[in-house]
Amino acid sequence: MTRKQPMGGRPKAKKGTLGRVLRFVTRYYRPALIVVIVCLVISAIVNSVGGLFTNRITELIEEGLGVYYVYGPNTALAQIMPQVLKTVLTLAAVYLTGLICNFTWTRIMASVTQGTLRNMRNTMFEKMQTLPIKYFDTHPHGDTMSHYTNDIETLRQLISQSIPSLISSGMILISLVFIMLYFSVWLALVVFAGACLMLFVTKTIGGRSARYFIRQQRSLGHEEGYVEEMMTGQKVVKVFCHEDACKKEFDEINEQLFRDAESANRFANILMPILGNIGNLLYVLVVFIGGALVIGADIPNLSLSGKALDIAVLIPFMGMTRQFCMNINQASQHVNSIAMALAGASRIFDLLDEEPEADEGYVTLVNAAYNKKGELVESDKHTSTWAWKHPHEDGTVTYTLLQGDVRFTDVDFGYVPEKTVLHNISLYAEPGQKVAFVGSTGAGKTTITNLINRFYDIADGKVRYDGININKIKKADLRRSLGVILQETNLFTGTVMENIRYGRLDASDEEVYAAAQLANAHDFITRLPDGYNTMLTGNGANLSQGQRQLISIARAAVADPPVMIMDEATSSIDTRTEALVQQGMDGLMCGRTVFVIAHRLSTVRNSDVIMVLEHGRIIERGSHDDLIAKHGKYYQLYTGAFELD
């Protein structure tokens, strides 16, 4: 099996992604961000005004030297030192203010960043709970997990480092522009020309690097999806001795990640030296031109201050040139991280923009009881009687007893519009009946039960539950009325008690014990090291397959649902355990409508009706004895003339 990574054209962040990220951040932290921006502005101004103080100190030194040669050192010190000391103390106060602002905004941004990531993860998880089963069927689980790890990590860098650094660098550059123009228009124009060259190089080289960083992000998600899939299926890999084939396939995926990452970092690594050398050349050019302007005193300086260009102006201007180039260089460093973050944010927003599971239902499931008049009314207590609460347009409400009458009428369905997998399905299950579906793999057995749950919606026809169109029933209430026991058992990290109680979170300990006894799981649970408090991890890896299935049956039993769907619930249990479980299952099924997907035909002999499916159509129906007497497909399957796939 060779797996190709779906590139989908040139990967890029969607337009407006940065705006969505910023809106998400400001939604929760607007006051804190205002403080951060104020601190960044003050800090940027503080970092920019050093040249002004350098100019002033240089002028004082020049003035002091003049006094020194005329009046001597004592007079010079007495006249100049107070002004120098005042300037130095002012500069110290300015830098102390900048230090306080830097400390403040970094502390606030640490809280803002982590809080935003927490809110983003919560939002993603809440959204994920609203998505239809189809989403998880069509998206690799590892790639979805990558949203919570790699994509979130890129947002951390964007919020905590890149955006504040860009704001700070931008404010410093703006401040330096005015100060440079204040000192010398000619030298400022030289610096601006060099800055334009640096920006052009950043756009050319950094843009190519950013594209590859985006590809790297997608390749990383693809690789994580593959690793997660291999970890889940490791037993299958080893059973079929596919270790070498998996290594080869992983090498191909990893090689793609290497190529994308290598290209991204190659361009990123050459960008910094190029910008650094442009900055050095610009510095030398400023010194050369500035020296020429100082020597050629008759050349007009065109400064906004009207000052002549002298050594007191050139020295701070050289420092500002270095600072100007450093800030452009620093801003360019964040081009790649911003590109990666926006790519990660686009993937996150793709998840958040997925259409949630539609639910137009308005009929709800409620606890019910009969009043003294014999009328069915809603109860605020847990009863063994359930009813469908059906509000009508005229304001009236009717209650329909939940009996478990399920009927399909001329139902067509396809997972994709161009391929129909169920054709003209009509069936009914009366209250208390046990209905079994048999047929080869792909015949449509599990699909029918998925339609009862409304994991998917039908293309045509009707499905009615106690006479109510299931499209009118709220999905949560519909599923609450159905107990499902799957062939593939899923247990969660927690105690045995918690896993059984997952069927109904408000179940008491006594109800959990009763459910376990009904499923014949109580005996083996009490023999576990900590009994019902035994911790289960790794999907119950410390239990046998049969024990895990028994817990899932107990979980369905504690929910006490009126209708049961069993996808060959005893297929993973040994013969001795199956006999015990079957007794519990019989008790669980008593008085309930039950749908059974059967792979072993011996388990459906006592079904009230058996549906034989082939290629999405019901070709036979009847009891076991009736179907055997017909000598049709069921007879062939049961006697071994044909075997189920």
Give a three-class secondary structure readout of 294-361. HHCCCCCCCCCCCCCCCHHHHHHHHHHHHHHHHHHHHHHHHHHHHHHHHHHHHHHHHHHCCCCCCCCC
pLDDT at res. 69? 63
Which one of 401, 430, 462 terminates a domain? Answer: 401
Number of structural domains found in the chain: 3
Tell me which residue range forms the domain holding 383.
364-401
The label of the residue with tokens 């084939």 reads: 245
Which one of 324, 352, 380 terminates a domain? Answer: 352
Residue with more model confidence, 4 or 289:
289
Residue 291 included in any domain: yes
pLDDT at res. 173? 87
Q: Is 419 helix (H, G, I), strand (E, B) or coil?
A: strand
Please state, in angstroms and as integers, the Cα–Cα distance from residue 569 to each residue in 442, 544, 547, following that order. 18, 15, 12
Residue with more model confidence, 236 or 205:
205
Give which of 312, 286, 433 is closest to 60, Cα–Cα: 312
pLDDT at res. 333? 76
Residue 357 included in any domain: no
pLDDT at res. 278? 85
Question: Which CATH number goes with the domain that contains 535?
Answer: 3.40.50.300
pLDDT at res. 35? 93
User: Percent of the chain beyond pLDDT 70?
Assistant: 85
The DSSP H or E segment spanning 429 is strand 422-429
pLDDT at res. 87? 78
Measured distance CA(421)–CA(64) in Å, rounded:
96
Q: Residues 29, 138: one domain?
A: yes
The label of the residue with tokens 């403040």 reads: 104
Residues contacting residue 224 through CB under 8 Å, at least 6 positions apart: 142, 143, 145, 146, 149, 150
Strand partners, 493: none
Q: Residues 118, 141: one domain?
A: yes
Residue 359 included in any domain: no
Measured distance CA(317)–CA(336) in Å, rounded:
30
Determine the average pLDDT of the residues in 162-187: 85
Determine the average pLDDT of the residues in 541-565: 83
pLDDT band of 575, cuts 50, 70, 90: low
Residue 5 included in any domain: no
For residue 99, how many other CB atoms are within 10 A of its CB?
12
pLDDT band of 341, cuts 50, 70, 90: confident
Q: Residue 501 in contact with residue 512, Cβ under 8 Å?
A: yes
Q: Is 461 helix (H, G, I), strand (E, B) or coil?
A: strand
Residue 374 Ramachandran class (φ > 0 left, ψ -120 to 50 alpha, else beta)? left
Q: Residues 393, 413: one domain?
A: no
Q: Residues 327, 239: one domain?
A: yes
Query: Which letter, b or e, does each residue of 500-538 get, where b requires 16 or more Cβ atoms within 10 Å of its Cβ?
Result: bbbbbeebeeebbbbbbbbbbbbebbeebeeebebebee
Say whether pLDDT at 489 is over 90.
no
Determine the average pLDDT of the residues in 113-133: 90
User: Percent of the chain beyond pLDDT 90?
Assistant: 12
Residues contacting residue 600 through CB under 8 Å, at least 6 positions apart: 568, 571
Residue with more model confidence, 147 or 56:
147
pLDDT tens digits, one per residue of 452-464: 888 888 888 999 9
Q: Residues 187, 96: one domain?
A: yes
Q: Which two tokens stand for residue 27?
A: 């939604």
Say whether pLDDT at 545 is over 80.
no
Give which of 621, 575, 584 is closest to 437, Cα–Cα: 621
Residues contacting residue 544 through CB under 8 Å, at least 6 positions apart: none
Q: Residues 53, 166: one domain?
A: yes
pLDDT band of 200, cuts 50, 70, 90: confident
pLDDT band of 576, cuts 50, 70, 90: low
Residues contacting residue 204 through CB under 8 Å, at least 6 positions apart: none
Q: Residues 502, 519: one domain?
A: yes
Please state, in angstroms and as integers, the Cα–Cα distance from residue 562 to each residue in 399, 591, 596, following that order. 16, 8, 15
Say whether pLDDT at 231 is over 80.
no
Measured distance CA(592)–CA(386) in Å, rounded:
12
Q: What is the DSSP letter of 363?
A: B
Determine the average pLDDT of the residues in 548-572: 80
Q: Residues 296, 370: one domain?
A: no
Measured distance CA(81)–CA(119) in Å, rounded:
56
Measured distance CA(413)–CA(439) in Å, rounded:
18
In whole numbers, what is the pLDDT of the chain averaged over residues? 81
Q: Residues 165, 200: one domain?
A: yes
Q: Residues 431, 394: one domain?
A: no
pLDDT at res. 1? 45
**288, 292, 293, 294: CA torsion to nearest 10:** 100
Q: Which two tokens stand for residue 336?
A: 């790649």
The label of the residue with tokens 């997608």 reads: 218
For residue 156, how many other CB atoms are within 10 A of its CB?
16
Please state, in angstroms and as integers, the Cα–Cα distance from residue 456 to each residue in 218, 299, 581, following that order. 29, 82, 31
Q: Which two tokens stand for residue 588?
A: 């669980």
Say whether pLDDT at 243 is over 90.
no
Residue 10 included in any domain: no
Strand partners, 412: 460
Maximal C-alpha separation, the chain: 131
The DSSP H or E segment spanning 146 is helix 141-146
Q: Residue 565 in contact with residue 453, Cβ under 8 Å?
A: yes
Q: Is 432 helix (H, G, I), strand (E, B) or coil?
A: coil
Measured distance CA(389)–CA(408) in Å, rounded:
22
Measured distance CA(79)–CA(73) in Å, rounded:
10
Say whether pLDDT at 6 is over 60.
no
pLDDT at res. 11? 45
At 301, give phi and psi (nearest 5°).
-80, -30
**319, 321, 325, 327: CA torsion to nearest 10:** 60
Determine which of 57-71, 362-376, 410-424 has the lowest per-residue pLDDT on average: 57-71
Which one of 332, 352, 372 terminates a domain? Answer: 352
Q: Residues 466, 550: one domain?
A: yes
Measured distance CA(570)–CA(556) in Å, rounded:
14
pLDDT tens digits, one per residue of 591-617: 678 888 876 676 777 888 998 988 889
pLDDT tens digits, one per residue of 391-426: 988 888 999 988 888 999 999 998 888 888 899 999
Say whether pLDDT at 46 is over 60.
yes
Determine the average pLDDT of the residues in 564-575: 69
Q: What is the number of residues in the chain?
A: 645
pLDDT at res. 588? 65
Residue 3 included in any domain: no
Q: Residue 116 in contact with residue 159, Cβ under 8 Å?
A: yes
Residue 2 included in any domain: no
pLDDT at res. 474? 92
Residue 472 included in any domain: yes
Determine the average pLDDT of the residues in 581-593: 68
pLDDT at res. 363? 92
Say whether pLDDT at 280 is over 90.
no
At 80, give phi and psi (nearest 5°).
-95, -40
Contacts 24+ apart (CB under 8 A), 519-524: 519/550, 519/551, 519/553, 519/554, 519/557, 519/581, 519/584, 519/585, 519/588, 520/550, 520/577, 520/580, 520/581, 520/583, 520/584, 521/547, 521/550, 521/551, 521/553, 521/554, 524/550
Say whether pLDDT at 233 is over 50.
yes
Q: Residues 391, 487: one domain?
A: no
pLDDT at res. 31? 92
pLDDT band of 63, cuts 50, 70, 90: low
